[in-house]
Amino acid sequence: MSQYNAADIKKDRLRFTKNKQSSGLILLSIAANALYFVSIYSSDVGGYYYRFFIVLSIVYNLIFMLTAFLASEGVKNYKLSYAYTAIVLGALQVARIFFIPMRAHREPNPVVGAETLTVMSGGQFRYVTACLLISAALLICAGVIGIRKSTVLSKYQAELRQMNREG
């Protein structure tokens, strides 16, 4: 190793170390998503949320957490496909802002006497949007880092194979 420069050593390290950076970011994104759904599901606004879309939301949350966790394990082992999965999940987190939070924020409150307010207050809307945006940003960062590291590693391994073939 002594003949290699620092950049080469950095690449070589990838062969033996896991991509804990991306993996950690994805786990954090799951935590941010948890803050989002806890805020939504703990709301009690005259039964507004007790409709069919809440079922979809719960099912999606389960799928999201499972897929994100799988992606975190995948990117940890430099699997390129899981890095792309993380980016797609990040994009979907942004899209979710327009599903429940935006609609609830525009909907008048069904509670008698509180018609002038909306189902989701401005404060809660900002909070859940921030949670989803943070979750999305973490996922996209994790995906981008994962793609970069996986590409560097696969190129480096190809170089090593080539060097081995040439003796």
Partner 1 sequence: MSDLKLRHLEKIYDNNVQAVYDFNLDIRHGELIVLVGPSGCGKSTTLRMVAGLEDISAGNLIIDGRDVTQMPPKDRDIAMVFQNYALYGHMTVYENMAFSLMLRKEDQNEIHRKVLAAAEILDLTEQLNKKPSQLSGGQRQRVAMGRAIVRTPKVFLFDEPLSNLDAKLRSSTRREILMLHKRLDATMIYVTHDQTEALTLADRIVCMSMGHVQQIGTPIELYDSPANLFVAGFIGLPPMNLYDVLIKDGTASCDDFMTPLTAEDCWQLMQYEGKVVTMGVRPENVVPGGTITVNVMQNENLGQNTLVSGTVGRQKITCKFRDWCTYQTGDQVRVSFQKKHFFDKQTTKAIRR
The site string for partner 1 over 120-139 (x = CB under 8 A, - otherwise) reads: --------------------
As beta bridge partners, residue 118 has 108
Binding-residue pattern over the window 59 to 88 for partner 1, x denoting contact by CB under 8 A: ------------------------------
| DSSP helix/strand/coil, 24 | helix
Interaction residues for partner 1, span 9-28 (CB under 8 A):
9-10, 12-13, 15-17
Smallest distance from the beta carbon of 6 to partner 1, in angstroms? 6
DSSP state of 108: B
Q: Give least dist CB 154 to partner 1, A.
A: 15
Cβ(40)–Cβ(100) below 8 Å? yes
Confirm if 22 and 146 have CB atoms less than 8 A apart. Answer: yes
| Strand ranges, E, within the chain | none
Q: How many residues bind partner 1, per CB under 8 A?
A: 10
- Give the count of beta carbons closer than 10 Å to the beta carbon of residue 123: 8
Which residue number, 3 or 116, has a Cβ lying nearer to partner 1?
3
Closest by Cα among 54, 53, 84, 55 to 67: 84
Q: What angle, 0 to 180 degrees and rounded to 10, lies between the N-to-C axes of helices 52-76 and 20-41?
A: 170
Query: What residues form DSSP beta bridges with 72?
Result: none
Q: Which is nearer to partner 1, 20 or 106 (CB)?
A: 20
161 binds partner 1 (CB under 8 A): no
- Residue 10 vs 126, nearer CB to partner 1: 10
Residue (10 or 155) nearer to partner 1, CB: 10
> Which residue number, 96 or 149, has a Cβ lying nearer to partner 1?
149
| Chain residues in the site for partner 1 (CB under 8 A) | 1-2, 6, 9-10, 12-13, 15-17
